[in-house]
Amino acid sequence: MPQSTTGSIDSPSPQWRGGAAAIAMLTFAVDGETPVLAAGRRYAQHAMAMSHQAYDARRGLPRLLGILAEFDISATFFVPGLCAERWPHAISAIVEAGHEVAHHSYSHRPSTELTPAEERWEFERGLEALHALDIHPVGYRSPMWAATWNSAETATSIGLGYDTSLMDDDRPYIIETTAGPLVELPPHWSLDDWEQYAYLNEPRIGNIIEPPEKAMQLWLAELDGMREFGGLFQLTMHSFLSGRPGRARALRTLIETILERGDVAFRTGAQLREAVLADPGVERRKLEPVVADPHTYPNW
């Protein structure tokens, strides 16, 4: 049976939106070399692959920070701990520009491929790396959104306040854990630039390069849908992808278009978490793992 819920998610104007038709949350993953190294340690020897990812902090991130400054918009940047160690000045520059930095594991290895102890190590080691830069994150995103049924409990137990890894909604809700409430800010693949721009021949982290116009068409359709149905437009970008010149220009146009709509408010993850916790009508849930019968589903 579906989990029973409390509160009404169909309220015409929930408090968490603050009177806006929809909330836009601009998020950026500053992954650096971690997604490639997660595919295999041997890729550290591939100079092209490493340089492809170094574009992230060297050029893409400063360009995107400049565009956000043009509009005085605060965004949320998800940073793996290893990237914080390799590029400390770049990550500190995010905070200095007035943006939020959130937790994105240590190594960017998908949690679903780790043991519970390994996943917890990723949480703790990534947190240590951010603390070393005097960054104290509130939010978390699983690498590749590969959350486990343990992720929410672990995140809350180490003091994190929101997650953005689960895709069963397009509005925020609260997960009840044994360590306290965890705000879930649901993402979706359709609002991720990886599915539009990611290409690398080895390792094969993606095999597509779409024009920014196509990405814009998809994202604006989702934006207007969220405006009609009152949802969270959470755009996920990567500075080694969306920081490329033509794509960065498209992001500027997207922001201009959102502002022209006139009924969408921008929020960081931390700001949205506070708004969700203050709204008594927000749905609360307990995660219930799916149990697959081995006789019905014999293939592991």
Q: Print pLDDT tens along the chain (300 aa).
A: 333 333 334 556 799 999 999 999 999 999 999 999 999 999 999 999 999 999 999 999 999 999 999 999 999 999 999 999 999 999 999 999 999 999 999 999 999 999 999 999 999 999 999 999 999 999 999 999 999 999 999 999 999 999 999 999 999 999 999 999 999 999 999 999 999 999 999 999 899 999 999 999 999 999 999 999 999 999 999 999 999 999 999 999 999 999 999 999 999 999 999 999 999 999 999 999 999 999 999 998
Is 168:175 a contact under the CB 8 Å cutoff?
A: no
Is 161:180 a contact under the CB 8 Å cutoff?
A: no
Is 192:234 a contact under the CB 8 Å cutoff?
A: no
Which DSSP string corresponds to 101-139? EEE--SS---GGGS-HHHHHHHHHHHHHHHHTTT----E
Is 56:32 a contact under the CB 8 Å cutoff?
A: yes
CA 205 from centre of chain: 18
What pLDDT does 7 receive? 36
Domain boundaries, the chain: 30-283
What pLDDT does 13 receive? 77
Distance CA 57, CA 140 (A): 20
Hey, what CATH topology would domain 30-283 get? TIM Barrel (3.20.20)
